[in-house]
Amino acid sequence: MSLSLSRSLPRALLRRSYGTVQAPPSAASLIANRIPPALQEATAATAPRTNWSREEVQQIYETPLNQLTYAAAAVHRRFHDPAAIQMCTLMNIKTGGCSEDCSYCAQSSRYSTGLKATKMSPVDEVLKAARIAKDNGSTRFCMGAAWRDMRGRKTSLKNIKEMVSGVRAMGMEVCVTLGMIDENQAKELKDAGLTAYNHNLDTSREFYPSIITTRSYDERLQTLSHVRDAGINVCSGGILGLGEADSDRIGLIHTVANLPSHPESFPVNALVPIKGTPLGDRKMIPFDKLLRTIATARIVLPATIVRLAAGRISLSEEQQVACFMAGANAVFTGEKMLTTDCNGWDEDREMFERWGFYPMRSFEKEGSTQPQPAVEAAPVAHDSASAAPAAASS
């Protein structure tokens, strides 16, 4: 029977030989092969770097969003407690009447927004507001004044220094945003106990002139230099939804990432359109763009606090949590955020409890640039099995 079977089979089949069966590549290997080189390097980093190329930032920003947020969560867990969120309260201590032409701002005297200009708030009124913020769980108190710079404002500076010292005496971090300041003014604020100075770059250098013409990009960078040289923490970020392109969000992060040292905090604002301003009819930026920017900032600025700032009130709770999971770890909370509505303390406390977050302590991140030793290198670039990132990050 075997003889007749062999005679009936084609000779080519009888001569065929077979090699060993190759095991299919692991899922982790396939994923790693699709990760851009810049992202692979960034997720393995153990310290911040200040020599990013624009192409590297673009590679990270353009990574598929599911991979990008996963990588951001891994980096976040290496450098931060993923459950801790800094609660900040922002008070407008001098409203309106600003001479600048920022196209998004209700406080510019050039636009008819219905906002009434006021004089600077009294020191005791500001300190009372700071105590209320502290009693409600905020650990950083921020004060903003609507003017171009501090030239000729000696009395105002004296009062602001008294506010700064008073807030610090409560055990809170204190931040101010006062427009452009020089070296001497920065030193005076430092001596008064100022923790951080906010001066946003807003957008990329290329897109900036279409939004603001009364202050140059280099003037903003010069203010950041004065702040940094005085030993004050730099707080500088941007506004999304101004009409910018992806390349401008990439450019903003690239500029900030190549400062002499990374800012202590990077606010990510979603434009809140104000009727009467040139951008009053714009729609809020799509959420995926906001989330992509936060995740990229977290990866490129690993030790920096990424603050989910203006526009948060328009996000659902689930969208806010997605931002926390992708690396945002600070919020503005309280009664008001300059001239726009803000998420309240009670609302935020309830959200934190539902999702397992807790308020970051005052000065918890001060001087902390080293990664947490217990967290392994980013799992996205390795073959070994690794657990999915836990919920939340601040």
Q: What single DSSP character describes residue 348?
A: H
Q: Give residue-wise pLDDT tens across range 299-317.
A: 999 999 999 998 999 999 9
Q: What single DSSP character describes residue 205?
A: T
Over range 14-22, report the average pLDDT. Answer: 53
Over range 133-139, report the average pLDDT. Answer: 95
Is 34 a residue of the active site?
no
* Residue 7, pLDDT score: 47
Q: Where are the alpha helices (DSSP H) in the chain?
A: 2-8, 11-14, 27-33, 37-43, 54-61, 65-79, 123-135, 154-169, 183-192, 217-229, 246-257, 287-300, 317-325, 345-355
Is 342 a residue of the active site?
no
Over range 19-44, report the average pLDDT. Answer: 70
Does 342 appear as a known binding residue? Answer: no
Nearest-angstrom CA–CA distance, 28 and 303 = 27
* Residue 1, pLDDT score: 45
Q: Which of 155-164, 277-286, 382-391 comes out lowest in average pLDDT?
A: 382-391
* Residue 20, pLDDT score: 56
Over range 204-220, report the average pLDDT. Answer: 95
Asked whether 190 and 231 are in contact (CB, 8 A), the reply is yes
Q: Which of 115-129, 179-193, 244-258, 290-304 comes out lowest in average pLDDT?
A: 115-129
pLDDT at 290 over 80: yes
| Residue among 168, 220, 235, 298 flagged as catalytic | 235
Tell me what the pLDDT averaged over the chain comes to: 85
Structure confidence at residue 115 as a pLDDT band (50, 70, 90): confident
Structure confidence at residue 83 as a pLDDT band (50, 70, 90): very high
In angstroms and rounded to an integer, the radius of gyration of the C-alpha atoms of the chain is 25
The 10 Å Cβ neighbour count of residue 11 is: 8
Q: Give residue-wise pLDDT tens across range 162-199.
A: 999 999 999 999 999 999 999 999 999 999 999 999 99
| Residue among 307, 312, 323, 342 flagged as catalytic | 307
pLDDT at 369 over 90: no
Is 175 a residue of the active site?
yes
Give all domains of the chain, ordered by start, each with its CATH number. 76-359 (3.20.20.70)
